[in-house]
Amino acid sequence: MDTAFIDALKRCDIESIKKIPKGDLHNHAPRGGNVRFIEKWAGVQIPRLNQKFLDLGDMQRWYEKNIRCHCQGIDGYEVRIKGAFQQAKDDGVTKLILSLGLGEEALYGSLPNFIKAISSIHKETAPEIEFIPELAFDRGSNVNSILNLCHEYFSMNFYKSIDICGNEFAQSIANFKPLYRLAKSYGIRLRAHVGEFGDADSVREAVEVLELDEVQHGISAANCKGIIRWLSDNNITLNICPASNIILSRTDDYKTHPIRTLFDGGVKVTINTDDMLIFDVSISQMFLDFYKANIFTVDELNDIRKNGLT
Ligand SMILES: [Zn+2]
């Protein structure tokens, strides 16, 4: 498999790269699909993204106006989830962590109905993919008000991971400590979005306070040698989404992307899609883009690919 991936990269053969197993560990499920899949289902033409965003609000407005409007209600939600599984399958993703926001289950009236629906979409669309459901909280959530609910949700043994997403500056990450302690007692893997917009210190603080196993993005850590070393020493994986970081104006391009600095500092990194339905850059395409931009060698990219499968 290693040789096949390396040879495919050297030939710049995207179709062969797509066939090689890879992980996608940072994927917001309702925005994880493929725009052409939605176009076909809705019978519409969606304009292709030809701009960078200033921030998450800017991105959300574009998404609502151009994509979300075509897939509303339960049918629109399900087609987007189906699209995420289909996209993963088409890109050779064999390990898929899909992040499902707290509250998405409301469409189904109860969590058991929601679990049934998501599980059957998985079974019908891509049963061969190892699917790991993740429960995501908005950074602005009132933690005390959702703590009891989460007790019930964690005990259902569906969610295997948790995440915090949204505005990194909405409130102190420490407010989530009781929630993360509870999740840890259920053996749930602990992740959170930090260091995408926040600074290097915010990455270390979140890992220490919440006892994170992995960080979503964490790219600002590249600005501090001490924190790079600390992440490496503590074996903390950063699930990085390079196309997302470029389109959200966190860095200019592949050449300036902090992933190289983090990798050189010994930090375990993975390459992921984040919001494929908006950014429209697959994992296979990002591997190829890094190779073409001469940022990583084929062997290094193969090591990063394998990080996503462990
Ligand atoms: Zn994300």
Tell how far the Cα of 298 is from the centroid of ligand 1, in angstroms.
26
Tell how far the Cα of 7 is from the centroid of ligand 1, in angstroms.
31
In the structure encoding, which two tokens stand for residue 125, read together? 């669309």
Tell how far the Cα of 19 is from the centroid of ligand 1, in angstroms.
25
Long-range contact set of residues 194-203: C-beta below 8 Å, sequence gap at least 24: 194/168, 194/218, 195/219, 195/220, 195/221, 196/168, 196/220, 196/245, 196/248, 196/250, 197/55, 197/168, 197/169, 197/250, 198/168, 198/169, 199/223, 200/224, 200/227, 201/227, 202/168, 202/173, 203/227, 203/231
* pLDDT for the residue 217: 98
Tell how far the Cα of 230 is from the centroid of ligand 1, in angstroms.
23
At residue 270, the 3 state secondary structure works out as strand
Tell how far the Cα of 274 is from the centroid of ligand 1, in angstroms.
5
Task: Give the contacts of 3 (CB within 8 A, at least 6 positions apart).
Answer: none
Q: If phi over 0 gives left and psi between -120 and 50 gives alpha, with beta otherwise, what is residue 157?
A: left
Instruction: Give pLDDT tens digits along the chain (310 positions).
Output: 799 999 999 999 999 999 999 999 999 999 999 999 999 999 999 999 999 999 999 999 999 999 999 999 999 999 999 999 999 999 999 999 999 999 999 999 999 999 999 999 999 999 999 999 999 999 999 999 999 999 999 999 999 999 999 999 999 999 999 999 999 999 999 999 999 999 999 999 999 999 999 999 999 999 999 999 999 999 999 999 999 999 999 999 999 999 999 999 999 999 999 999 999 999 999 999 999 999 999 999 999 999 999 9
Cβ–Cβ < 8 Å for 247, 53? yes
3-state helix, strand, coil in the chain (%, to 5): 55, 15, 30
Task: Give the contacts of 176 (CB within 8 A, at least 6 positions apart).
Answer: 137, 143, 164, 192, 210
Tell how far the Cα of 241 is from the centroid of ligand 1, in angstroms.
8
Tell how far the Cα of 17 is from the centroid of ligand 1, in angstroms.
24
Tell how far the Cα of 3 is from the centroid of ligand 1, in angstroms.
31
At residue 239, the 3 state secondary structure works out as strand
Give the residue carrying structure tokens 């969590």. Answer: 111
Which residues neighbour ligand 1 (ion) by CB within 5 Å? 274
Give the CATH H-level superfamily of domain 2-6+24-307.
Metal-dependent hydrolases (3.20.20.140)
Tell how far the Cα of 150 is from the centroid of ligand 1, in angstroms.
21
Task: Give the contacts of 274 (CB within 8 A, at least 6 positions apart).
Answer: 26, 27, 28, 241, 243, 244
Cβ–Cβ < 8 Å for 265, 235? no
Tell how far the Cα of 247 is from the centroid of ligand 1, in angstroms.
13
Task: Give the contacts of 183 (CB within 8 A, at least 6 positions apart).
Answer: 150, 154, 162, 190
* pLDDT for the residue 80: 98
C-alpha 54 chain-centroid distance = 19
Tell how far the Cα of 163 is from the centroid of ligand 1, in angstroms.
9
Task: Give the contacts of 75 (CB within 8 A, at least 6 positions apart).
Answer: none
Tell how far the Cα of 100 is from the centroid of ligand 1, in angstroms.
11
Domains of the chain, residue spans = 2-6+24-307
Tell how far the Cα of 28 is from the centroid of ligand 1, in angstroms.
6
Tell how far the Cα of 108 is from the centroid of ligand 1, in angstroms.
24
C-alpha 75 chain-centroid distance = 23
* pLDDT for the residue 1: 78
DSSP string, 152-199: HHHTTT---EEEEES-TTSS-GGGGHHHHHHHHHTT-EEEEEESSSS-
